[in-house]
Amino acid sequence: MHVFNKVLIANRGEIAVRVIRACQELGIATVAVYSELDREALHVRLADEAYALGGQTAADSYLNTDAIVDAIERSGAEAVHPGYGFFSENADFARRITDLGVTFIGPPPEAIVVMGDKISAREAAEKVGVDGVPGTTELITDAQQVRDFGASHGYPIAIKAAYGGGGRGMKVVSDEGSITEAIESAQRESLAYFGRDEIYMERYLTKPRHIEVQVLADTHGNCVYLGTRDCSAQRRHQKLIEEAPAPAIDQDILTAMGEAAVAVAKGCDYVNAGTVEFLYEDGAFFYLEMNTRLQVEHPATELITGLDLVEQQLRVAAGEPLGFDQADVEIRGHAIEIRINAEDPAGGAFLPSPGIITKLDPPDGYGVRFDAGYAEGDEISQFYDNLIGKLIVWGKDRETARRRTLRALRELRVEGVATTIPADIAILEHPDFVAVEHSTKWVEEVLDLSEVSAPAPTGGADAQDEPKVRRDMAVEVNGKRFSVSMWVPEQVASVAVGDGGRSRRARRSGGGGSGGAASGEVTVPMQGTILKVLVEAGDTVSAGDTVVVLEAMKMENNIEADKDGTIAKVKVAEGDSVGGGDVVVVIE
């Protein structure tokens, strides 16, 4: 059967590579698009043809609709795969290309719209008898509504952005006294991120697991669920590890979740691959939302079902009926996916670590898959998501998969950028994770990452040629003293040894300044959005006063004055995007 002749992949990195590979296996010609920074990127190298979008930032490139439409027209692609992020859940984009006669490889725009608004998404589930966490489907217009809800349902309460996602705009209210502040903060964050500030509320579950169900629907009314995934190991709404199926949950509950997910999908006339999210606590599950796209963690499902989800997406989008039904879906063994991000765990701070990947040796062996968006020599830019790739491991059972994942992670070599690998190892080895006693709060609140940081840079190939000097020192191992001699590069020898990396961490996690003496030029440490500007020219400030609030890495960060003085210049406004190192205010 004819699928497509040519598909344009409106994305970059590992997901673009993933989709290109699936197309190649089906004999479909591939079209890549790229920003100025991605001219030589792996997805561009692998595709049959590629079109420049111009621009560096996502907004100027992968989110430039006109440039993408131009590439579609020039290439003659019949269909567009949006990957995840970017245009994947953008109904306007789906409509625009559909109007051109081009197939959007994803759900109908109507389903994206229903699920994009969290309140209508809740209503869509309620309509088919699937319950969310107890809450309201009315917007909050008055703090009194929250007080009334608290009086009848108790605390804590979650205030959520109606048009939010990924935890942005969500605030937890633990008592009556903090309602007003939480409402304002949720509205502010929601407005800065999503351009609208509607909010609603739910009971806040304190120790839930995040369980999601993969669904797949065709245009002929068939819809199946493809097992569950547990994505509870995350920090600040960034998943670190996902596994499939969700462990330590009774089969009848997993089946009920699967059936609930299919009911929700059918209820919104869903087509293509989608994910229905639930919170699970004390044997009960609650519908949370539906993601109307292929997800980062889809390979975990592929390894336990034997299905190629991108192939299925392409077939369904071309109008083919599913070639199987629910009874044919078999879950076999266990899969664990590790996201390898270019971030230094830095004791729990997870600091972005852009740069050139000077070495990349993927692991291999039985049950090991490595989906990367980069090869050795490629650069991770601060302008995009810093996911280098994903390690996905299969085992006959969870413990086999866990041990195999640890083995593979120790085999994997990434140099030139720091990675999340040390944190992943700490999670996989922790008795709570082994016993499935973790929840969505566990990485942030229980796991101790204080000793977990990226190894010191090795300096790459050039380091080998550098002159080395001998250094003798004393070290203590398990209370026993040893004298050791080390041959180290000259520069390294001049750096203080033995503070466990703490001085570097402290410097990098500081609010502003560029490290040395206070310059009065207050900078932001990383890329983000200005949520609030607290000063204006002429104001007097003291060192340590918050001058702006930066939303970065899904957290509100207070950026502080680095010296006493008067504000000479305010260089940003609320809602502005800033890059790491940008000056936000100048103090004289």
C-alpha distances (whole Å) from 175 to each of 182, 357, 413, 441, 534 are: 10, 47, 48, 20, 27
Pick the closer one to ligand MV4 by CB: 249 or 357: 249
Pick the closer one to ligand MV4 by CB: 233 or 547: 233
CB 339 to ligand MV4: min, Å = 14
C-alpha distances (whole Å) from 509 to each of 128, 238, 340, 348, 383 are: 47, 19, 21, 11, 19
CB 320 to ligand MV4: min, Å = 32
Pick the closer one to ligand MV4 by CB: 100 or 248: 248
CB 542 to ligand MV4: min, Å = 35
CB 442 to ligand MV4: min, Å = 10
Pick the closer one to ligand MV4 by CB: 205 or 408: 205
Pick the closer one to ligand MV4 by CB: 202 or 302: 202
- The answer to whether 318 and 220 are in contact (CB under 8 A) is no
Pick the closer one to ligand MV4 by CB: 345 or 362: 345
- The answer to whether 210 and 232 are in contact (CB under 8 A) is yes
Beta-bridged to residue 171, according to DSSP, are: 159
CB 406 to ligand MV4: min, Å = 24
> What is the DSSP secondary-structure string of 219-286?
TTS-EEEEEEEEEEEEETTEEEEEEESPSSS-HHHHHHHHHHHHHHHHHTT--EEEEEEEEEETTEEE
- List Cβ neighbours of 580 (8 Å cut-off, separation of 6 or more): 352, 382, 524, 525, 526, 527
Pick from 246, 295, 304: which is nearest to 273 by CA? 295
Pick the closer one to ligand MV4 by CB: 237 or 407: 237
- Cα 112 from Cα 82, distance rounded (Å): 13
Footprint of ligand MV4 (CB under 6 A):
133, 158, 167, 170, 202-205, 208, 210, 234, 237, 279, 288-289, 440
Pick the closer one to ligand MV4 by CB: 29 or 130: 130
C-alpha distances (whole Å) from 369 to each of 197, 372, 390, 392, 403 are: 42, 10, 8, 5, 15
Pick the closer one to ligand MV4 by CB: 275 or 527: 275
C-alpha distances (whole Å) from 468 to each of 159, 486, 488, 493 are: 58, 9, 5, 9
Buried b (16+ CB within 10 A) or exposed e, 439-464: bbebbeeebebeebbbeeeeeeeeee
CB 164 to ligand MV4: min, Å = 7
Q: Which amino acid type is present at position 62?
A: Y
Pick the closer one to ligand MV4 by CB: 204 or 383: 204
Report, in angstroms and rounded to the nearest whole number, the Rg of the chain calculated over CA atoms. 25
CB 122 to ligand MV4: min, Å = 11
CB 160 to ligand MV4: min, Å = 7
CB 199 to ligand MV4: min, Å = 13
Strand order of the sheet with strand 209-217? 284-291, 272-281, 209-217, 223-235, 238-244, 334-341, 387-395, 368-372
Tokens of 165: 């996602």
- Cα 161 from Cα 183, distance rounded (Å): 10
Pick the closer one to ligand MV4 by CB: 87 or 204: 204
CB 151 to ligand MV4: min, Å = 18
CB 149 to ligand MV4: min, Å = 12
- Cα 332 from Cα 245, distance rounded (Å): 9
